């Protein structure tokens, strides 16, 4: 029995040595001279070849059966941290095309419906984002994206329903107000307006701006506010472009509706630059 085993072992070792010998490799090379799969090994594909292969894969691997097979094979498998790191490095700087993003969006619709992050996931996300601040460019992008996706009335209703009866705790209020607020600018909002910033001056600026918000161009006649006594007409606000309440020069003042005026509390430097451009046009 043991003799037989050792003989088998010897044979397999012989075979291994034969297969790794140069002579065997030469024979193989000669035999597969015209086989594209063999000759392509180690070479880089040309664009056309890659395109052809990708189209071939689309036909052969894009069938539901094939996808199901792949899904089953990979079910429950987890990538090693090494693989994840490799994929991360490969994907750095790569951007998905609009088409791909749309596909990803569609495939996710309804999948996360009603799902919530677990407490441990929330904690992980919190730790990742700790101390991170969005760059000015990122903020601008977010603001631009939100501008193009106005909240629908339906969504507003949903938000309002969800918040019904909810109140901020005293602790939360403390955290969000005054010096603790992310918008704290050193207390400048408590500085008083100077006496020259009076109704006559404000009215003159409104007149100069033809009673239109210089950001969204809505007319003062279209503006209303919701008060305790019902809906009332609303005047345009006069905004200090450089955020200095004492600088009441006409070229530092601009008419804005309350919605647009509220936005100027973020990215102040950008708004100053923007309104200076608006007045100089």
Window contacting Zn ion (CB under 5 A); options: 53-61, 159-167, 191-199, 210-218: 210-218
Q: Closer to Zn ion at the Cβ: 27 or 259?
A: 259
**Least CB distance to Zn ion at residue 236 (A):** 8
Q: Among all chains, which residue has been given the structure tokens 């594209």?
A: 36
Helix 2-20 vs helix 22-31: crossing angle, to nearest 10: 60
Q: Closer to Zn ion at the Cβ: 96 or 217?
A: 217
DSSP code of residue 63: S
Spatial CA neighbour of 250 closest among 276, 217, 269:
276
**Half-sphere exposure (Cβ direction) of 157: Cα atoms closer than 13 Å:** 3
Helix 47-61 vs helix 64-74: crossing angle, to nearest 10: 90
Q: Distance between CA 264 and CA 41 in Å, rounded?
A: 60
Q: Closer to Zn ion at the Cβ: 87 or 262?
A: 262
Is 254 near Zn ion (CB under 5 A)?
no
Spatial CA neighbour of 237 closest among 227, 218, 274:
218
With contact defined as beta carbons under 8 Å apart, do 241 and 254 qualify? yes
Is 215 near Zn ion (CB under 5 A)?
yes
Q: How many residues bind Zn ion (CB under 5 A)?
A: 5
Binding mask 36-55 for Zn ion (x = CB under 5 A): --------------------
Q: Closer to Zn ion at the Cβ: 215 or 252?
A: 215
Is 257 near Zn ion (CB under 5 A)?
yes
Is 213 near Zn ion (CB under 5 A)?
yes
- Which listed residue (260, 264, 271, 275) binds Zn ion by CB under 5 A? 260
DSSP code of residue 126: H
**Least CB distance to Zn ion at residue 79 (A):** 49
Site for Zn ion, rule CB under 5 A: 213, 215-216, 257, 260
């Amino acid at each position: 029995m043991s003799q037989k085993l050792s003989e088998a072992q010897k044979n397999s070792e012989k075979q291994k040595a034969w297969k790794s010998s140069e002579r065997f490799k030469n024979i193989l090379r000669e035999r597969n001279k015209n086989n594209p799969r063999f000759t392509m090994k180690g070479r880089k594909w040309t664009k056309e070849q890659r395109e052809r292969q990708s189209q071939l894969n689309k036909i052969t691997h894009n069938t539901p059966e094939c996808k199901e097979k792949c899904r089953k094979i990979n079910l429950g498998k987890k990538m090693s941290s090494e693989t994840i790191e490799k994929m991360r490095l490969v994907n750095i700087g790569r951007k998905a095309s609009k088409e791909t993003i749309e596909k990803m969006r569609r495939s996710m619709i309804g999948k996360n419906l009603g799902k919530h992050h677990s407490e441990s996931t929330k904690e992980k996300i919190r730790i990742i984002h700790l101390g991170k601040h969005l760059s000015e460019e990122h903020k601008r992008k977010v603001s631009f994206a939100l501008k193009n996706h106005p909240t629908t009335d339906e969504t507003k209703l949903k938000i309002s329903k969800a918040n019904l009866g909810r109140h901020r705790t005293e602790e939360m209020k403390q955290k969000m107000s005054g010096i603790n607020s992310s918008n704290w600018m050193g207390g400048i909002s408590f500085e008083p307006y100077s006496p020259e910033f009076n109704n006559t001056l404000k009215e003159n600026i409104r007149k100069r701006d033809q009673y239109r918000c210089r950001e969204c161009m809505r007319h003062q006649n279209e503006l209303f506010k919701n008060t305790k006594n019902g809906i009332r007409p609303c005047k345009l606000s006069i905004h200090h472009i450089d955020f200095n309440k004492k600088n009441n020069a006409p070229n530092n003042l601009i008419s804005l509706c309350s919605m647009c005026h509220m936005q100027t509390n973020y990215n102040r430097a950008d708004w100053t630059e923007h309104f200076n451009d608006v007045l100089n046009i």
